[in-house]
């Protein structure tokens, strides 16, 4: 029996290889802006380190020296050793939540809005999206979840785990709010609650949701709540780096604002900004929070260190926007997500270069790697069939010359 399972797995792996969808862990070392792949230094244009903080060794040295100056009793621990509900809660974690809350409220105040949100820190964006929807839908309330067709796998898994018989979910066409509105119109009166779920910047297409339009839709139906995953927008957009909701002045209208620290923050972890009662409910019902060891306090200390700098990184955000726009404009329409020829404006640092089939995508990635760029192919099932692509990602440590060199290779 054991053998036959192994043989079947081997045969399934061989099928993946035949379809050029076989995944392997790469052999990598990191050196500032470069990765060393099989002995060769390549400029990293594949990570989510949008502000380039992950490879900033001076910043890391500054943090370590700060930690080194603390007395041993105040040095952040290397492990939380249990869930937050047992002994894993810690002053670093509570301070992080308070500082995130202050970040939110100062952004709101700057925009002369009034709103109050509480913050719950979580172990990762994956944990967040996996746990929030199932926890929110445990009450006996007939609920319809409407999610963008391109939302991240973690959100899809969260919807799948929302197993109450009273919950249904549907996917609307990507950023197609007329399609979304049709689902809302068709929801019968017995539906008490409609949760619209979207990313603010889409991880593979790099385009933005129209949060103002979603807020407008919400204003027409009191049953609607908005869940926005800002994983790729935090640190990148907004005056103080809080994301697309900050940039579009929609912070106060979003019920569940999720962000992650594993990308522009160059750290690990996630948060949800929401009503205080919702926070208390999540503490009581969210399984990835209850049943997983909290992140090490040393990680939270690093996240706090980056958070303190986040509002001051406006120049880096502006440089990132300029690089990303230059790159997007240089991409031939045949290789863009949409064939629209109108002026390309800044969407995000994620610039997909679409090739369609796996073989040409692998060949293009190889060509870019031969030219000194660590560019990676993204294939189905991560992206829809026939949309295999190179996911080009800009970061604030790249120069205009780097960008020009890359453009010459496209
Ligand atoms: C939109 C989105 N949400 C959540 C996640 C998961 O975040 P994390 O890496 O912190 O688990 C990702 C990861 O790429 C993502 O793209």
Among 241-250, 325-334, 391-400, which stretch is predicted with the lowest mean pLDDT? 325-334
Confidence check: pLDDT of 338 > 80: no
Q: How confident is the model at residue 350 (pLDDT cuts 50, 70, 90)?
A: very high
In tens, the pLDDT along 55-99 reads 999 999 999 999 999 888 889 999 999 999 999 999 999 999 999
Nearest residue by C-alpha to atom 10 in ligand 1? 125
What percent of the chain is predicted at pLDDT more than 90? 90
What spacing in Å lies between the alpha carbon of 244 and ligand 1's midpoint? 16
| Beta carbons of 362 and 20 less than 8 angstroms apart | yes
Q: Domains along the chain? A: 20-51+313-408 (3.90.1150.10), 84-311 (3.40.640.10)
Given this model, what pLDDT does residue 309 score? Answer: 97
Q: Record the tokens describing residue 221, joined without a space.
A: 């139906």
Place of tokens 């820190």: 121
The β-bridge relationship of strands 143-148 and 167-172 is: parallel
What spacing in Å lies between the alpha carbon of 46 and ligand 1's midpoint? 15
Q: Could you tell me if the CB of 250 is within 6 A of ligand 1? A: no
- Beta-bridged to residue 201, according to DSSP, are 208
Confidence check: pLDDT of 53 > 60: yes
Q: Could you tell me if the CB of 262 is within 6 A of ligand 1? A: yes
Mean pLDDT value of segment 163-187: 96
Q: Could you tell me if the CB of 317 is within 6 A of ligand 1? A: no
Given this model, what pLDDT does residue 343 score? Answer: 63
Given this model, what pLDDT does residue 341 score? Answer: 55
State the closest ligand 1 atom to the C-alpha of 270, by its place in the atom list counted from 1.
10
What spacing in Å lies between the alpha carbon of 160 and ligand 1's midpoint? 17
Q: Record the tokens describing residue 48, joined without a space.
A: 């989510």
Confidence check: pLDDT of 342 > 70: no
pTM (2 d.p.): 0.96
For the chain, the first-to-last Cα distance in angstroms comes to 50
The β-bridge relationship of strands 40-44 and 34-37 is: antiparallel
State the closest ligand 1 atom to the C-alpha of 268, by its place in the atom list counted from 1.
10
Q: How confident is the model at residue 333 (pLDDT cuts 50, 70, 90)?
A: confident
Confidence check: pLDDT of 119 > 60: yes
User: What is the pLDDT of the chain when averaged over all its residues?
Assistant: 95
In tens, the pLDDT along 258-313 reads 999 999 999 999 999 999 999 999 999 999 999 999 999 999 999 999 999 999 99
What spacing in Å lies between the alpha carbon of 260 and ligand 1's midpoint? 7
């Amino acid at each position: 029996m054991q053998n036959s399972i192994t043989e079947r797995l081997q045969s399934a792996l061989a099928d993946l290889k035949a379809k050029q969808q076989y995944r392997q862990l790469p052999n990598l070392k990191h050196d500032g802006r470069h990765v060393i792949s099989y002995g060769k230094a390549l400029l990293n244009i594949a990570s989510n380190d949008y502000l380039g903080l992950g490879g900033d060794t001076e910043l890391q040295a500054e943090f370590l020296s700060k930690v080194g100056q603390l007395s041993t009793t105040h040095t952040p621990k290397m492990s939380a050793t249990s869930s937050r509900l047992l002994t894993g809660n810690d002053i670093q974690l509570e301070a992080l939540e308070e500082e995130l809350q202050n970040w939110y409220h100062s952004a709101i105040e700057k925009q002369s809005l009034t709103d109050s949100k509480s913050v719950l820190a979580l172990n990762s964006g994956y944990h967040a999206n996996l746990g929030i929807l199932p926890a929110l839908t445990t009450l006996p309330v007939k609920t319809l979840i409407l999610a963008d067709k391109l939302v991240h796998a973690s959100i899809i898994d969260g919807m799948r785990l929302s197993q109450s018989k009273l919950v249904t979910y549907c996917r609307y066409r990507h950023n197609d709010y007329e399609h979304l509105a049709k689902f809302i119109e068709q929801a019968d009166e017995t539906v008490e609650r409609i949760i619209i779920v979207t990313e603010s910047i889409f991880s593979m297409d790099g385009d933005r949701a129209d949060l103002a339009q979603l807020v407008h839709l919400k204003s027409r139906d009191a049953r609607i709540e908005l869940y926005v995953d800002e994983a790729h927008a935090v640190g990148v957009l907004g005056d103080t780096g809080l994301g697309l909701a900050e940039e579009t002045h929609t912070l106060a209208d979003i019920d569940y604002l999720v962000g992650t620290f594993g990308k522009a923050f160059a750290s690990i972890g996630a948060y949800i900004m929401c009503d205080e009662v919702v926070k208390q409910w999540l503490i009581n019902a969210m399984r990835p929070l209850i049943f997983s060891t909290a992140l090490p306090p040393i990680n939270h200390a690093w996240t706090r260190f980056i958070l303190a700098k986040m509002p001051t990184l406006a120049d880096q955000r502006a440089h990132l926007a300029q690089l990303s726009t230059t790159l997007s404009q240089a991409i031939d329409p045949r290789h863009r997500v949409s064939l629209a020829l109108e002026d390309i404006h800044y969407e995000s640092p994620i610039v997909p270069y679409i090739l369609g089939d796996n073989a040409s995508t692998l060949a293009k990635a190889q060509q870019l790697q031969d030219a000194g760029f660590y560019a990676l192919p993204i294939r189905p099932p991560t992206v829809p069939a026939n949309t295999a692509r190179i996911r080009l990602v800009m970061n604030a440590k790249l120069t205009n010359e780097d960008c020009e060199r890359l453009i010459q290779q496209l």
